[in-house]
Structure 1
Amino acid sequence: MSQHDQAAVRSLTTTDHEEIRKWAEERGANPATMPGTGGLRFDFPGCGGEDLEEISWDDWFGVFDQRGLNFVYHEHRKGDPHGNYFRLRRPDDDGA
């Protein structure tokens, strides 16, 4: 990816359950958690998710809402090597 293309990638933020589910399903990812930590994850095919525990969408979104999280992700571009990038953040998290 050229410097110009990298600069054109936008980060988007949402709390919309359907938008998040669509994003994950487009990438073949299943909702998951890290056992013992309660941390929310996605299990992407071929990405070594052996340590993850698959959970239901209802459970995933229950924790997401309870913690008041935002879903931050890159705008999808064809051939984007960062197409699976996401981060879960609290609205008051400055990212530092």
Structure 2
Amino acid sequence: MSSSNQTHDHAAIKKWAEERGGVPVKIKNTGDESDEGVLRIHFPEHSDKDDQFEEISWDDFFDNFERNKLDFLFQDEKADGEQSTFHKFVQR
């Protein structure tokens, strides 16, 4: 059985993402000068390199993450034991 975890610990989020080849991104054309826009963690190895994403720094990612008081909901493993990339952002 798979289970989800929730955190707002920056080091834990970054570690989880990097272990899976994930990079911090924003969805293009969703922000402005004061807001990065819609955040995602993108897994280039598992996608068709969609041009809707713009890679951003972890610092910019976490600034926006904190400003919007988000938590990171994630799964370590799928039900079959395979490493999971499931995640989403939720309000704290």
TM-score by length of 1: 0.78
What is the root-mean-square deviation in Å for CA atoms of aligned residues? 1.3
In structure 2, the residue matched to 1:45 is 44
Number of residue pairs matched by the alignment: 82
Summarize the alignment of residues 28-67 of structure 1 with structure 2, pairs less than 5 Å apart.
28-37=21-30, 38-46=37-45, 47-48=47-48, 49-67=50-68
Per the TM alignment, residue 45 of structure 1 is displaced from its structure 2 partner at its CA by: 1.9
Query: Which residue of structure 2 lines up, in the alignment, with residue 24 of structure 1?
Result: 17
| 1:40 counterpart letter in structure 2 | L
User: Runs of 4 or more off by more than 6 Å in structure 1?
Assistant: none
CA distance in 2 between counterparts of 1:73 and 1:59 reads 20
Q: Would the aligned equivalents of 2:76 and 2:85 in 1 still touch at CA under 8 Å?
A: no
Q: Tell me by how many angstroms 1:10 deviates.
A: 0.8
Q: Matched residue of 1:89: which SS?
A: strand
Q: Which has the larger radius of gyration?
A: 1
User: In 2, Cα distance between the equivalents of 1:27 and 1:50?
Assistant: 20
Higher relative contact order (CA 8 A, sep 6+): 2
Identity of aligned residues (%): 37
**1:24-69 residue CA offsets vs partner (Å, 9 max, x unmatched):** 0001111000011110011212313321000000000000000000
